[in-house]
Structures are given as C-alpha cells and as structure tokens.
C-alpha cells in the first residue's frame, strides 16, 4: 500500500497529474472510495491533466459516465452514486474492458464484485484541507506503479 497526504485542492490535482503521467497510454481502472467531498472528482481532474486532456472535468453524477478523449488518451469517468435509482442497466464492460482507456469509478461499491481484480483502489479520508489517499490493488501487477505514486 502507498499512502499520500495532500493539504489543498491544488496538491490533490498535482497528485492526480502524477497518476495520469504514470499510466498514460495504458489501461487501468481506479476505484475511488471516499465520502462526499473527499476529493474523488478533484483527483480525477488531476488525472485528466496528467493524461493531457484539457476538457473541464465535471462530476458525472447525473449521467453516470462521461468520456473524454484526445489523440493519446481516453478517460472514462464514472460516478455510481445514483446507481441505486438507476440499477445496473448500463454497459460496465464496455468501459472496464476497453484496453485503450483510463477508467475512474467514484462510488464503486456495487460493481466491485463484477470487476476483474486488476484495479487500483484509492481510499480517501480526511478533514478540513487534509486528505489521505491510500493506494492498493488486489493484483500484484501494479506494485511498481503504486510505489511510484
Ligand atoms: N486536500 C484536498 N484535496 C481535495 N479537495 C480538497 C482538499 N482540501 C479541501 N478540498 C475541498 O474538498 C472538496 C472536494 O470535492 P470533490 O473533489 O468534488 O469531492 P468528491 O468527488 O469526493 O465528492 C472541494 O470543495 C475541495 O475544494
Ligand atoms: Mg465526485
């Protein structure tokens, strides 16, 4: 496990940028586990920057999924907070098995068991401006990358 603490929104964006850089051009699924306002979307904004995506990243709470793409990268940003209302009636596989994509899933609890184990889990906790990000994976394949974060 890797633990990183940030002390501002900007530092979290920088952290996300680093993650985007590390995984640029590769397929990976990040599960973001944290309360409302923990910093999940903020981290995703940084990831997009690291991937070279210049679009404004907004929380897709009311659409479940937003897709961002440029010449080098594709980002699927899912927010499953409202999945209880909507049900699992959407094509999760289309995103998590898209080998060209970086996938971020906020509120992933209801789909974790449906995913292959090659994901990276990020547990976010904190208060005020302090946030702790704990990175882990059930699969050893990301050990090196997690240490680089
Ligand atoms: N260290 C920090 N990292 C990220 N966000 C922070 C931090 N400190 C304060 N904040 C604030 O917390 C909120 C996080 O919002 P957001 O990223 O949308 O959370 P979530 O997507 O988890 O609901 C923002 O209002 C941001 O300004
Ligand atoms: Mg959010």
Q: Give Cα separations from 104 to 48, 92, 127 (angstroms).
A: 10, 12, 23
59 Cα to the center of ligand 1, angstroms: 12
36 Cα to the center of ligand 2, angstroms: 7
Tens of pLDDT along 122-142?
Answer: 999 999 999 999 999 999 999
Protein residue with least CA distance to atom 23, ligand 1: 37
Instruction: Kindly give the residue spans of alpha helices, DSSP state H, lying in 28-112.
Output: 40-50, 83-86, 92-96
- Which atom of ligand 1 lies closest to the CA of 8? 1
Find where tokens 């889990």 sit: 121
Domain count, the chain: 1
State both tokens at 87.
């049900």
State both tokens at 29.
């699924």
Which residues sit with their C-beta closer than 6 Å to ligand 1? 6-9, 11-12, 34, 36-42, 59, 106, 129, 131
pLDDT for residue 86? 63
30: β partners: 104, 120
Distance, CA of 134 to CA of 32 (rounded, Å): 10
Tens of pLDDT along 48-97?
Answer: 999 999 988 888 767 789 999 999 899 999 999 887 666 666 788 889 88
pLDDT for residue 93? 87
Q: Which of 12-16, 37-41, 77-81 has the lowest mean pLDDT?
A: 77-81
Residue 78 in domain? yes
pLDDT for residue 67? 94
CATH number at residue 58: 3.40.50.300
Residue 40 in domain? yes
Q: Residues with Cβ < 8 Å from 91, sequence gap 6 or more?
A: none
Distance, CA of 46 to CA of 53 (rounded, Å): 10
Distance, CA of 130 to CA of 132 (rounded, Å): 7
Residue 147 in domain? no
Phi, psi of 49 (to 5 degrees): -60, -45
Domain limits for position 85? 2-141
Residue 22 in domain? yes
End-to-end CA distance of the chain: 11
CA nearest to 145, candidates 6, 11, 28? 28
Residue 149 in domain? no
């Amino acid at each position: 496990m890797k633990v990183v603490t940030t002390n501002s929104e900007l530092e979290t964006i920088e952290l996300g940028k680093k993650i985007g850089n590390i995984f640029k051009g590769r397929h990976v699924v990040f599960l973001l586990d944290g309360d409302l306002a923990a910093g999940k979307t903020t981290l995703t904004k940084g990831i997009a920057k690291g991937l070279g995506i210049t679009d404004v990243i907004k929380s897709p709470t009311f659409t479940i999924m937003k897709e961002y793409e440029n010449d080098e990268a594709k980002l699927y940003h899912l927010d499953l907070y409202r999945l209880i209302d909507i049900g699992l009636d959407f094509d999760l596989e289309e995103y998590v098995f898209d080998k060209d994509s970086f996938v971020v899933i906020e509120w992933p609890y209801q789909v974790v068991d449906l995913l292959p184990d090659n994901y990276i889990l990020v547990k976010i906790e904190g208060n005020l401006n302090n946030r702790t990000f704990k990175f882990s994976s059930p699969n050893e394949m990301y050990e090196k990358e997690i240490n680089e974060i």
